[in-house]
Chains A and B, each alone.
Chain A
Amino acid sequence: MLTERSENYSWQRPHLIKSKNKRIIIYFLVLAYLIFTFISLEIDPQRILLGLSRSQKYFADFFRPDFISRGESIMDGIIESLTMTYVATIFGIIISIPFAFGAAENISPKPIYFLSRAVIVISRSFQEVVIAIFFVVVIGFGPMAGVLTLTFSSIGFLAKLLAEEIEDIDWSQVEAVKATGASWPQLMTYAILPQILPRFIGLAVYRLDINFRASAVIGVVGAGGIGTTLNAAFDRYEFDSASAILIVMIAIVLLGELFSSFIRKKLK
């Protein structure tokens, strides 16, 4: 056995923030922020109670989804959403490629780099709904506004992630192929594409999934798709139909997830 010594050692887990004063100040600031925001919430318990009692009926409707009475418009909305999703994702893929190369720091000249980055930032900063509002105002209600919206937000997403992929390209592989005397198209197909294609396909499938979910909300502001149907159902307080729409959407997202995991497995 080890000998017992009389002196006591002290040990404390090292803190993330070393200085004690700093730590206290940060804790205090966080606490103050939380308290302040809670006060600024202005929760009105009476309104909530009233709402809860009123919404009991809606909740009951939610658990009795009705696929039939609005069946036709649900079907129509879903088809519109799916077509919007597909078309916009394809457009997004095609347009995002030049922007991705433009936004890759290692191969792009400075002016083009900044221009591409600016487009990406604007596309990523605005939520789809905000963009949809803009397009609806410009070209009117309907699925075309939705397609433009989804295309625009796909560009930023795909171009940014693809640009990162291009920046990570292993140039020794490119040089090795170049050393065999390959031409530029050969260089692309043998050295560059194999490095970025698998990830890009994965991203595109992921974006397809995001676009479908987004297509359900931009309808709320009139940009077509199942969102229009859903919004109408909420407006008419037809919660049984709304619930049916949500269930169909969840099912499609689930199917999409199965599909994308299937694709990802194939790519490996």
Chain B
Amino acid sequence: MPKNDYNWQLKGRVRILREILFWAAGIWLFIYCWNIISARTMWPFVYDGAEQASKLLMRMFPPNWPYFLNLIRPIWDTITIATLGTIAAILLSLFVAFLAAENTSPHPILRQLALLIIVTSRSVSSLIWAIILVIILGPGVLAGIIAISLRSVGFVSKLLYESIEEIDKEQVEAVEATGASKFSTLIYSVVPQVFPSFVGTAVYRWDINIRESTVVGLVGAGGIGLQLNEAILGLKWPDAIIIFMMILSLVLFSELFSAKIRKILI
């Protein structure tokens, strides 16, 4: 029998070398970035941070419980901003996603346009949209609603057009083969197929939007952020803790609620 050693290695020498290089580059980049940040940091303040934080927490107690009553309207507004903003985004995204999905888009140029809308909307946070809209529309809930919906259009459209692209082509062909018009084909074969993921996305986005709409008020676009801004600028910490608690319970409530809705609809 010939003596023959087989050569098996999962990671060859070149690959090991490449991995070492990759990790070294990552660590070097980390140190480099850290130095930039460190140079721009007032370290004494940071060392002092823990003490400041504990002082801050102390000043929050006892919480100003009656302040809760002043928050009912802002919380209502926050929910309104999230809900109407999500609804507006959903309506818009039906259209945008239809243009953006490769298999339903009527024209490649329209598809590129839709993709541009999606990436623009996704790249710019709702707070920035809110700043712009407050300048245009003046402070108020309306600016918040539009800001939230502009931010959400991209998110909902992206997930929706991806699920449109994944549909079973045969089901569409089958309805098409009956001689159905384009619209009928859409409602009978595309819509039922994307419905579950669409509902999931919409409810999920609503859940995120509750969180987002707690801050648009900071720039004047309505909701509980306005009160938060006042409390912090006025150093009214006993009020601030009530606001934090309200935000926390609002978000938890919305998470439970959206999980429930998803269960019912899908």
Q: Which residues of A contact B (CB under 8 A)?
A: 16, 37, 40-44, 47-48, 50-52, 54-55, 58, 79-80, 82-84, 86-87, 90, 121-122, 124-127, 129-130, 133, 137-140, 142-144, 147, 213-214, 216-217, 220-221, 224, 230-231, 234, 246, 249-250, 253-254, 257
CA A83 – CA B29 in complex, angstroms? 9
Chain B interface mostly: helix
**Least CB distance, A103 to chain B, in whole angstroms:** 15
Given contacts A137-B56, A254-B119, contact A51 B136 (CB under 8 A): yes
CA A130 – CA B136 in complex, angstroms? 24
On chain A, the residues within 8 Å of B247 by CB distance are 125-126, 130
On chain B, the residues within 8 Å of A137 by CB distance are 52, 56, 232
- CB of B123 within 8 A of CB of A220, answer no
- CB of A80 within 8 A of CB of B36, answer yes
**Least CB distance, A150 to chain B, in whole angstroms:** 11
**Least CB distance, B198 to chain A, in whole angstroms:** 15
On chain B, the residues within 8 Å of A140 by CB distance are 42, 45
Residue B37 at the chain A interface, CB threshold 8 Å: yes
Residue B251 at the chain A interface, CB threshold 8 Å: yes
Chain B: number of interface residues, binned into ranges: 35 or more
**Least CB distance, A186 to chain B, in whole angstroms:** 15
Residue of A nearest to B126 (CB): A217
On chain A, the residues within 8 Å of B80 by CB distance are 37, 40-41
Residue of A nearest to B243 (CB): A130
CA A249 – CA B266 in complex, angstroms? 36
Residue B24 at the chain A interface, CB threshold 8 Å: no
Given contacts A37-B84, A48-B137, A51-B136, contact A129 B36 (CB under 8 A): no
Residue B149 at the chain A interface, CB threshold 8 Å: no
CA A138 – CA B49 in complex, angstroms? 5
Chain A interface mostly: helix
- CB of A122 within 8 A of CB of B248, answer yes
Residue B14 at the chain A interface, CB threshold 8 Å: no
- CB of A51 within 8 A of CB of B248, answer no
CA A137 – CA B228 in complex, angstroms? 13
- CB-contact partner of B37 in A125, A147, A217, under 8 A: A147
- CB of B219 within 8 A of CB of A220, answer yes
- CB of B214 within 8 A of CB of A127, answer yes
On chain A, the residues within 8 Å of B145 by CB distance are 41
- CB of A144 within 8 A of CB of B124, answer no
Contacts A80-B37, A254-B119 given; 11 further ones with Cβ under 8 A?
A: A40-B76, A40-B77, A50-B138, A124-B251, A125-B211, A125-B251, A130-B214, A137-B52, A217-B125, A220-B219, A253-B119
Given contacts A37-B83, A139-B52, contact A127 B128 (CB under 8 A): no
CA A50 – CA B45 in complex, angstroms? 45
Residue B53 at the chain A interface, CB threshold 8 Å: yes
**Least CB distance, B172 to chain A, in whole angstroms:** 20
Most central of A40, A125, A231, A257 by chain B CB within 10 Å: A125
Given contacts A130-B215, A220-B219, contact A214 B125 (CB under 8 A): yes
On chain A, the residues within 8 Å of B36 by CB distance are 79-80, 83, 143
On chain B, the residues within 8 Å of A216 by CB distance are 124-125, 128
On chain A, the residues within 8 Å of B53 by CB distance are 138
CA A47 – CA B214 in complex, angstroms? 24
- CB of B30 within 8 A of CB of A90, answer yes
Residue B11 at the chain A interface, CB threshold 8 Å: no
- CB of B135 within 8 A of CB of A58, answer yes
List B residues 246-260 near A (Cβ within 8 Å): 247-248, 251-252
